[in-house]
Amino acid sequence: MDWNEIETVLLDMDGTLLDKHFDDYFWEEHVPTVYAQLHGMNFGDAYEELMGKYKSKEGTLEWTDINYWSKELGINIAEMKAKMNHLIQMHPYVIDFLKFCKENVKKIYLVTNAHSKTLAIKMANTDIEQYFDRIICSEEIGVAKEDPMFWEKLEKMLNFDRNKCILADDNELVLESAEKYGIKQLIFVAKSSSKKPVAYSKKFPSIIFFKELIATH
């Protein structure tokens, strides 16, 4: 990758900069456990019911809207997340990469589907907010990143050149959406969770850690 051709760096949060183990554990183990207790169900039944509910909202704003899920499930999701904030971790080499981008005078934007309440919890527990020129949640745009309209609205908001832009994300559907819009450099993060194996993309250039993108001379 020729960094001289890059002006703007767009970075996803969960699974890309931050270890997705927190989210996987929270939504797939902790929430079903609480939900089961609340409704007198066994874990397996609660898990199946919740996976169906999650799946039905995938790729929409509701999927990451913790106000929606709090109401839908009768659980205070924000409060539960705040109590488990010790599990929020960055991936290795993230700070090194952000510093590299800063030193090379790139515009750096955090672009996430995460709800603003989730974002606030995660920024309070990491040391990365200072590196971004701006942080944009999909709720601010009005559509999720899986919708090509997201990128059109984002470009108007930030005034970047899509031909001099790189996007890193752990979601292939998001990368496909950005590709349709015309963002030139797309990078798939192949190890979104520290607890899961590497899974390379068959379509997009993949990295395990961000040190692979740091140009050394």
Distances from the Cα of 7 to the Cαs of 74, 114, 128, 165, 170, in angstroms? 44, 25, 20, 6, 21
Q: What's the chain's Rg over C-alpha atoms?
A: 18
Predicted TM-score (pTM) of this structure:
0.95
Instruction: Give the contacts of 55 (CB within 8 A, at least 6 positions apart).
Output: none
Provide the percentage of residues in the chain whose pLDDT is more than 70: 99
- Our CA angle for 101, 59, 17, nearest 5°, is 25
- How far is it, in rounded angstroms, from Cα 188 to Cα 199? 10
CATH of 3-19+89-213, one of 1.10.150.170, 3.40.50.1000, 3.40.50.300, 2.40.40.20: 3.40.50.1000
Q: What is the C-alpha separation between 60 and 70, in angstroms, rounded?
A: 16
Q: DSSP secondary-structure letter at 200?
A: -
Q: What residues form DSSP beta bridges with 134?
A: 109
Q: What is the pLDDT of residues 74-131, one digit of tens each?
A: 999 999 999 999 999 999 999 999 999 999 999 999 999 999 999 999 999 998 999 9
* pLDDT at residue number 59: 85
Q: How far apart are the first and last CA of the chain?
A: 13
**At residue 130, what are phi and psi to the nearest 5 degrees?**
-60, -20
Please report, for the chain, the start and end positions of each structural domain, with discontinuous segments joined by +: 3-19+89-213, 22-86
For residue 1, what pLDDT is reported? Answer: 81
Q: Is the pLDDT of residue 217 over 70?
A: no
Kindly report the backbone phi and psi dihedral angles of residue 18, in degrees, each rounded to the nearest multiple of 5, phi listed first.
-110, 145
Grouping H, G, I as helix, E, B as strand and the rest as coil, residue 41 is: coil
Residue 178 has pLDDT above 60, yes or no: yes
The secondary structure element, H or E, covering residue 134 is strand 134-137
Closest CA relative to residue 92, chosen from 166, 22, 17, 187? 17
